[in-house]
Amino acid sequence: MLYKCILRPILFLKDPEETHEQILTLLSKLSFLEVPLERLFVVDDKRLQVRLGPLTFPNPVGLAAGFDKNGAALEIWPGFGFGFMEVGAVTALRQPGNPKPRLYRLPKDQALINRLGFNNDGAEAIAARLDELNQNGKLQKIPLGINVGRSKIVETKDAAKDFLFTFEKLYPYGDYFTLNVSSPNTPNLRDLQAKNLLKELLEVIQTKNRELAGRSSSKEKPVLVKIAPDMEFSQVDEIIEVVESQKVAGIIATNATAFLREKLTGRVDEPGGLSGKPLRERATSFIRHIYQTTRGRLPIIGVGGIFTAEDAYEKIKAGAMAVQILTGFVYEGPGAVKRINRGLLRLMERDGFKNISEVMGSGV
DSSP 8-state class, residue 4: I
Please report the sign of the dihedral spanned by the C-alpha atoms of residue 146, residue 73, residue 118, residue 17. positive
Nearer to ligand FMN, 116 or 348 (CB): 116
Q: Are strands 300-303 and 176-180 parallel, antiparallel or unpaired?
A: unpaired
Q: Cis before residue 65, ω within 30 degrees of 0?
A: no
Please report the sign of the dihedral spanned by the C-alpha atoms of residue 276, residue 231, residue 69, residue 287. positive
Nearer to ligand FMN, 209 or 255 (CB): 255
H helix or E strand, kind and range, residue 322? strand 322-325
Nearer to ligand FMN, 21 or 351 (CB): 21
Q: How far apart are the first and last CA of the chain?
A: 35
Nearer to ligand FMN, 318 or 353 (CB): 318
CA 330 to chain centre: 14
Q: How far is the CB of 218 from ligand FMN (least distance, A)?
A: 26
CB 246 within 8 A of CB 225: no
CB 309 within 8 A of CB 340: yes
Q: What distance in Å separates the CA atoms of residue 170 and residue 123, rounded to the nearest whole number?
A: 7
Q: How far is the CB of 76 from ligand FMN (least distance, A)?
A: 18
Q: How far is the CB of 340 from ligand FMN (least distance, A)?
A: 11
| CA dist 23 → 36, 96, 135, 231 (Å) | 18, 19, 25, 34
Q: What distance in Å separates the CA atoms of residue 76 and residue 33, rounded to the nearest whole number?
A: 7
Nearer to ligand FMN, 180 or 209 (CB): 180
Q: How far is the CB of 344 from ligand FMN (least distance, A)?
A: 16
Nearer to ligand FMN, 191 or 351 (CB): 191
CB atoms within 10 A of CB 290: 28
| 31 has catalytic annotation | no
CB 303 within 8 A of CB 273: no
Residues binding ligand FMN (CB under 6 A): 64-66, 69, 88-89, 103, 112, 114, 116, 147, 180, 183, 226, 255-256, 275-276, 279, 303-306, 325-328
Q: What distance in Å separates the CA atoms of residue 248 and residue 298, rounded to the nearest whole number?
A: 9
Nearer to ligand FMN, 76 or 148 (CB): 148
Kindly list the strands in the beta sheet with 273-276, ordered across the sheet, starting from the edge strand earlier in the chain: 103-106, 111-114, 273-276
Which residue has the closest beta carbon to ligand FMN?
66
Q: Which of 151, 182, 183, 275 is catalytic?
A: 183
| Enzyme catalytic residues | 183
